[in-house]
Amino acid sequence: MPKAIQPDGRHAERSAAERSADHAAIDRLSAELLPALIAKLGATGLGELEVREGAWRVRLRRPGTAATNPASRDRRPGDRERAARSGSGSSPAHAGVGLTAVGPGRDGREIRDGRDGAAAVDEHDRRRIVASSPAVGIFQPRPEARAGTKVRAGDRLGSVDMLGIPQEVVAPSDGIVGASLVESGDAVEYGQELILIEFASATPSET
Amino acid sequence: MFRKILIANRGEIALRILRACRAVGAEAVIAYSEADRDSLPVQLADEAICIGPADARRSYLSAPAVISAALVAGCDAIHPGYGFLSEDEGFAEVVAAHDLAFIGPSAAVLERFASKAGTRQLMATHGLPTIPGSEGMLRDELHALGEAERIGYPVLIKPSAGGGGKGMRMVRTGRELESSLRVCRSEAKAAFGDDSLYLEKWLDENRHVEIQVAIDRYGHGIHLGERDCSVQRRHQKILEEAPTPALSDAAGPISPRVP
């Protein structure tokens, strides 16, 4: 595994205080910043994302960015989701710059259907968790479930009104409510991606 | 004329409706299930909207999903094609209640023709010839045996709510009738949710010739000529032939009288 996060060059002869400061920073990064960045990268479709803070620099990149078809962004939401799921399982760790995924559920939560292994898709993308529409109708978010709210799998995030009958939109897994991909009152179709679920904070044992 | 039509069907049926939409200059929105995401009609339609999972009961057979799709897509009409919800009078009624046009017979007409036994009765009251059969539904074994005796064996047991040849049995004796009744009932119940059965005289040497008729709400009617559908397998048509070789010229050109 390449080192994902590096302090600028200085490796040797550091004081205990410096080291513990580094560890604290690593903990903070993995717990707070990385899940948010991963979600952001997944949501925006950007190829690369870099954040600098003091002596630290974090860069996330999709390994297959150049190779994967950019036109796939223009397809239906369902198509994109499917393309994202059908990862090749290629190593996400590109020497020096690739970030290995940090966060809980690294093994259990990936949604795979393995229908075709052609597209090189980043591990982060496959781990994208989205609450999708249970019906065709008009979407109404639940005010209590605004972005940043912690939710458990099965919690209600809103509803889709199908001929006056509200169909519940539920969180597919534990996490934090992220960006909404549709507006309140929007017409949505069955299976359409509605709300991103960002991962809950990482446990230190996994970093 | 309709501006935007929702097609609530799939496959070849959806393609035909799509072509008709193009011909009349209406926009076509296809309602599809996840199983048909990559199908030809979805690719060719002006708009496509996913209404449910592969299970037809939660997509093509779900009246709320289909109507909701029509509303969110801004359609003014729904074309159900054939099969699925096309003969569901409840669906036709709810469509109309949402100020959408149901392209098909009115709910009242669908209801009148939903029961085969009822249709037989309706035709008989208008003086049209029907195949000899039981008076109303079969109440029990005893009633069935009595009616079969009156009609004369062999007889055909038919589910009133039927279609597609399911739950039909030809029986030649009373004993066969007794043993087949239960099977037919459970088949009809499973296939149509209605186990009403009736009897019809079985015609050994027969041909199936049908004439399709379309009538608009102003009472203008056309017929689409006759077709011979005698080539069947398990009561399902395999081949339709027109004109039929079975009718002599003496039968003359077909001129249906519309009551």
- With residue B121 as reference, give the H or E element that holds it: helix B116-125
Q: What is the mean pLDDT of residues B159-164?
A: 82
Q: How far is CA A199 from the centre of its chain?
A: 7
And the tokens for B81?
């094609």
From chain B, the residues in CB contact with A138 under 8 A are 72
Judge whether residue A65 has pLDDT over 80.
no
Judge whether residue A207 has pLDDT over 70.
no
pLDDT, mean over chain A: 67
The per-residue pLDDT for range A10-53, each reduced to its tens digit, is: 455 667 887 888 788 778 777 777 777 777 777 666 777 777 77
What residues 71-90 of chain A have any CB closer than 8 A to a CB of chain B?
76, 78-79
Q: Do A165 and B64 touch (CB under 8 A)?
A: yes
Q: Do B52 and A135 touch (CB under 8 A)?
A: yes
pLDDT, mean over chain B: 91
Q: Do A163 and B68 touch (CB under 8 A)?
A: yes
Query: Which value, in Å, is the radius of gyration of the alpha carbons in chain A?
Result: 19
Is the sign of the CA dihedral B162, B166, B172, B174 positive or negative? negative
Task: Give the residue carrying structure tokens 């009288």.
Answer: B257
- Chain B residues near any Cβ of chain A (below 8 Å): 31, 34, 37, 48-53, 59, 64-65, 67-69, 71-73, 98
Residue B73: closest CA among chain A residues belongs to which residue?
A187
Q: Compare A71 and B139 and report the one with higher pLDDT.
A: B139
Q: Is A192 on the interface with B (CB under 8 A)?
A: yes
Residue A77: closest CA among chain B residues belongs to which residue?
B50
- For every residue of B203-238, DSSP letters joined together read -SS---EEEEEEE-TTS-EEEEEEEEEEEEETTEEE
Question: B4-108 and B115-201 share one CATH topology?
Answer: no
Of A136-150, B155-169, B217-231, the one with minimum mean pLDDT is: B155-169
From chain B, the residues in CB contact with A187 under 8 A are 72-73
Q: Do A136 and B53 touch (CB under 8 A)?
A: no
- Whole-number pLDDT of residue A83: 37
Instruction: Identify from B72, B75, B99 which residue to disrupt to test chain A contact, counting A C-beta atoms within 10 A and taking the largest count.
Output: B72
Of A22-31, B164-173, B221-230, the one with minimum mean pLDDT is: A22-31
| Calpha distance B86→B178 (Å, rounded) | 35
Judge whether residue B71 has pLDDT over 80.
yes
Q: What is the mean pLDDT of residues B79-108?
A: 94
Judge whether residue B129 has pLDDT over 50.
yes
Helix residue spans in B141-173 (DSSP H): 141-151
- Which residues, including other chains, have CB under 8 Å from residue B130's CB and lie 6 or more apart? B120, B123, B124
Q: Do B52 and A163 touch (CB under 8 A)?
A: no
Q: Is the pTM of this model over 0.95?
A: no
3-state class (DSSP) for residue B161: coil
Architecture of B4-108 per CATH? 3-Layer(aba) Sandwich (3.40)
User: Where in chain B are the domains?
Assistant: 4-108, 115-201, 209-251
CA-based nearest residue to A201, from A27, A61, A16, A2: A27
Q: What stretch(es) of chain A map to CATH 2.40.50.100?
A: 128-207
Q: Compare B208 and A71 and report the one with higher pLDDT.
A: B208
The ipTM value here is: 0.77
Query: Which value, in Å, is the radius of gyration of the alpha carbons in chain B?
Result: 21
HSE toward the beta carbon, residue A70, CA cutoff 13 A: 4
Band (B252; pLDDT cuts 50, 70, 90): low
Which residues partner with B50 through β-bridges?
B32
| Calpha distance B106→A205 (Å, rounded) | 67
| Calpha distance B34→A73 (Å, rounded) | 19
CA-based nearest residue to A164, from B77, B6, B59, B64: B64
The per-residue pLDDT for range A122-152, each reduced to its tens digit, is: 445 556 789 999 999 999 999 998 889 999 9
- Whole-number pLDDT of residue A92: 37
Architecture of A128-207 per CATH? Beta Barrel (2.40)
Band (A179; pLDDT cuts 50, 70, 90): very high
CA distances B233 to A47, A110, B160, B163, B236, Å, are 58, 48, 21, 14, 5
Q: What is the mean pLDDT of residues B192-214?
A: 90
Which CATH superfamily groups domain B115-201? ATP-grasp fold, A domain (3.30.1490.20)
Judge whether residue B149 has pLDDT over 90.
yes
**Residue B108 backbone dihedrals phi, psi, to 5 degrees:** -65, -40
